[in-house]
């Protein structure tokens, strides 16, 4: 019944749109000036049996994820809707998406006038860097913690930006138990203070307060029902220099994932930048302790996060560097530093060559935060005691442990050193070479019993163009390691016929696996057709089990064998 209602309302909406087009000269009030635009995305995968690669057996033999967004605007009003469908969810997406085959999990209406904007319904929002609040979507990962409630944005004066919101969060096809109330203010001093308007120094300051309410659960502990947090931030820009800092604080928030401790949480994120034409450098540092902030104290995995803790590592794009050992932020505690440098050797110079050469170097180091537990020196013992949810003599305040943001621990979580050189040799040939060294705490991040994985990765990518329309792009990658699955090799060739066709063939081979039976090939072929904003691709082959990450949030991609179909469009 619900599905019938939603289908008929969609049909009605589309019917209205088509009527708009035929009623062009008739004025018409409501329909006059109404614009409707949207997009859709369908991804389907077919699953064959393939026990050698460890592909899970899928009884339905296929999965389809689809969604369509529609946005209607007229003057000061905007309304939008998203229809999602999982039939069943593609492997690797949370199975709870399959609790409903089709539905409308996102709908809103917004009114905007002068400096005021009011939204009722679902919305996404970010305060500063997201350290204390970020509701966002990452459809490829199945991440969606949208709010459902009311949001008001108001700018009472030039340079002053205020936001207030209240709502529950999305939990697959349901809503969170907890309610979030939040307020953010941002002051752009150069707009606000007339003497600073034309100065080279740009200053912006911001402050946020966030509070969540969740009725006390069943526990022998007295769990706080209201938990508050806040953050302060600043950003300075002066000529070629930039400096940014944000500090976030969370009051006691006993949750399942932090073993019900009453310790406060803190996070600090800083970034310094210097750049001018042909050269840029960025150094950033981050330290977080007990900063997982969710609207449900029992939630786990990637569910119901109120905030977002960015990973401080390079987002790799090459297959072997990006999907085998990618780092995921450890919200319960980590400290790290990253440096990024880009330098373009001038064209026409001896080393630069005719067209110039670009060099990029990146280094990141992430360690645990050192913790002194009150009840035991062993972390697992201490956590087991805390999980009993009783008051402990050795730790009467149930703080769990002692630490500070600068207490760098010995445990290495991640190391990444990489260098990339990019050079155009002739009008029709470009070459890019990359070397990466990664050390990865696989026991912590993937729960595998192993020492840290130490890997050396080499990639060469070439691009040849022929005339104005044809191109061939190829990649050759290798990964050397003594741990986990051993050495890999990867090859890819892509032929492009601009603007409509792309054909890709790729293969990965785990030639160095200690287990001979697991030295497997993963070949795939894919054809893509593009017509302006419409993109359709069909592929067939084997997909290696791996991890797909966007922004430091990752999801597991299970091994698979079969057909894949992807269609996206915008209108």
**Taking CB under 8 A as the criterion, which residues in 398-437 touch another protein?**
none
Site for another protein in 209-238 (CB under 8 A): 235, 237
The residue (of 1 and 57) whose beta carbon lies closer to another protein is: 1
Q: What CA–CA distance (Å, rounded) separates 367 from 379?
A: 16
Q: How far is the CB of 138 from another protein (least distance, A)?
A: 9
HEC string of 132-181?
Answer: CCEECEECCCCEECCEEEEEEEEEEECCEEEEEEEEEEEECCEECCCEEE
> Does 198 sit near another protein (CB under 8 A)?
no
Q: Does 332 bind another protein (CB under 8 A)?
A: no
Q: Which 3 state secondary structure label does DSSP give 371?
A: coil
Closest CA to 66 of 49, 88, 43: 43
Looking only at residues 99 through 128 of this chain, which bind another protein when binding is defined by CB under 8 A? 99-102, 112, 124-126
Q: Find the shortest distance in angstroms from Cβ 484 to another protein.
A: 24
CB of 97 to another protein, least distance (A): 12
Residue pair 385/401 in contact by the 8 Å Cβ criterion: no
Residue of 162, 221, 281, 408 that binds another protein (CB under 8 A)? 281
Q: Which of 534, 474, 481 shows the shortest CA–CA distance to 512?
A: 481
Residues from 445 through 474 that contact another protein (CB under 8 A):
463, 465, 468-471, 473
Radius of gyration of the chain (CA): 26
* DSSP letter assigned to residue 124: -
Work out how close the CB of 66 gets to another protein at its nearest, in angstroms, rounded to a whole number. Answer: 7
Q: Any idea what DSSP says for residue 89? A: P
Minimum gap (Å) between residue 302 Cβ and another protein: 15
Give the count of residues interacting with another protein (CB under 8 A): 113
Region binding another protein by CB under 8 A among candidate stretches 254-262, 372-380, 492-500, 515-523:
492-500
One residue of 5, 9, 37, 49 binding another protein per CB under 8 A: 37
Q: Where are the alpha helices (DSSP H) in 390-491?
A: 442-446
DSSP class per residue in 401-429: EE--TT-EEEEEEEEEEEEEEEEEEETTE
Rounded to 5°, the CA angle 296-299-301 comes to: 140
Among 181, 202, 256, 370, which residue sits at the site for another protein (rule: CB under 8 A)? 202
Q: Does 18 bind another protein (CB under 8 A)?
A: yes
Q: Which region, judged by CB under 8 A, interacts with another protein, from 380-388, 394-402, 437-445, 528-536?
A: 528-536
DSSP state of 56: P
Q: Does 349 bind another protein (CB under 8 A)?
A: no
Stretch that binds another protein, among 214-222, 270-278, 388-396, 397-405 (CB under 8 A): 270-278
Given the rule CB under 8 A, which of 364-372, 437-445, 527-535, 540-548 is the region that contacts another protein?
A: 527-535
Judge contact between 540 and 524, C-beta under 8 A: yes
Task: Name the minimum Å distance from CB 232 to another protein.
Answer: 15
Closest to another protein by CB, 343 vs 391, is: 343
Q: Please report which residue ranges of 419-485 form alpha helices under DSSP H.
A: 442-446
Binding to another protein (CB under 8 A) within 294-313 occurs at 298, 308, 310-312
Contact between 38 and another protein per CB under 8 A: yes
Write the DSSP symbol of residue 321: H
Phi, psi for residue 20 in degrees, rounded to 5: -55, -40
From candidates 50, 56, 69, 337, binder to another protein by CB under 8 A: 69
Q: Can the peptide bond before residue 338 be classed as cis, meaning omega within 30 degrees of 0?
A: no
């Amino acid at each position: 019944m619900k599905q019938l209602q939603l289908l008929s309302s969609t049909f009605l909406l589309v019917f209205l749109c088509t009527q708009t087009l035929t009623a062009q000269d008739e004025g018409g009030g409501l329909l006059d000036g109404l614009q409707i635009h949207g997009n859709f995305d369908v991804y389907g995968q077919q699953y064959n049996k393939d026990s050698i690669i460890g592909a899970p057996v899928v009884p339905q033999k296929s999965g389809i994820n689809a969604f369509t967004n529609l946005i209607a605007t007229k003057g000061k009003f905007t309304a939008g809707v998203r229809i999602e469908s999982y039939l069943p969810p593609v492997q690797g997406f949370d199975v709870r998406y399959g609790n409903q085959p089709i539905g409308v999990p996102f709908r809103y209406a917004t009114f905007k006038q002068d400096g005021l904007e009011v939204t009722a319904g679902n919305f996404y929002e970010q305060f500063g860097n997201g350290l204390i609040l970020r509701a966002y979507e990452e459809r490829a990962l199945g991440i969606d913690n949208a709010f459902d409630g009311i949001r008001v944005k108001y700018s009472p004066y030039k340079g002053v930006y205020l936001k207030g919101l209240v709502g529950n969060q999305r939990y697959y096809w349901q809503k969170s138990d907890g309610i979030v109330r939040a307020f953010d203010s941002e002051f752009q001093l150069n707009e606000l203070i007339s003497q600073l308007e034309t100065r080279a120094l740009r200053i912006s300051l911001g402050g946020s307060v966030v509070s969540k309410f969740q009725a006390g659960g069943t526990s022998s502990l007295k769990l706080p029902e209201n938990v508050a947090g806040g953050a302060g931030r600043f950003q300075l820009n002066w000529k070629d220099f930039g400096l940014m800092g944000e500090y976030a604080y969370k009051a006691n928030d006993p949750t399942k994932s932090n073993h019900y401790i009453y310790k406060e949480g803190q996070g600090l994120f800083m970034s310094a930048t210097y750049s001018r034409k042909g050269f840029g450098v960025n150094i950033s540092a981050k330290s977080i302790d007990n900063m997982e902030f969710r609207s449900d104290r029992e939630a786990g995995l990637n569910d119901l996060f109120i905030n977002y803790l960015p990973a401080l590592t390079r987002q790799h794009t090459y297959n072997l560097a990006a999907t085998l050992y990618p780092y995921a932020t450890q919200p319960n505690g980590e400290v790290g530093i990253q440096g990024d440098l880009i330098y373009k050797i001038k064209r026409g110079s001896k080393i630069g060559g005719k067209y110039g050469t670009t060099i990029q170097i990146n280094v990141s180091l992430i360690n645990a935060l050192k913790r002194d537990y009150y009840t035991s020196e062993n972390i697992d013992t201490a956590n087991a005691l805390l999980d009993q949810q009783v008051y402990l003599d050795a730790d009467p305040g149930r703080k769990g442990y002692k630490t500070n943001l600068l207490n760098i621990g010995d445990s290495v979580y991640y190391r990444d050193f990489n260098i990339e050189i990019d050079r155009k040799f002739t009008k029709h040939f470009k070459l890019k070479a990359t070397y990466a060294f990664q050390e990865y705490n696989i026991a912590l991040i993937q729960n595998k019993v192993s020492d840290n994985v130490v890997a050396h990765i080499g990639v060469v990518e070439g691009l040849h163009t022929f005339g104005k329309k044809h191109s061939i792009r190829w990649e050759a990658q290798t990964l050397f390691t003594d741990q986990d699955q051993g050495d890999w090799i990867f090859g890819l060739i892509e032929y492009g016929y601009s603007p409509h066709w792309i054909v890709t063939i790729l293969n990965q081979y785990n030639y160095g696996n200690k287990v001979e039976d697991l030295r497997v090939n993963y070949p795939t072929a894919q054809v893509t057709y593009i017509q302006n904003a419409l993109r359709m691709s069909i592929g067939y082959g084997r997909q290696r089990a791996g991890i797909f990450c966007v922004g430091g949030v990752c999801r597991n991609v299970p091994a698979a064998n079969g057909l894949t179909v992807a269609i996206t469009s915008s209108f």
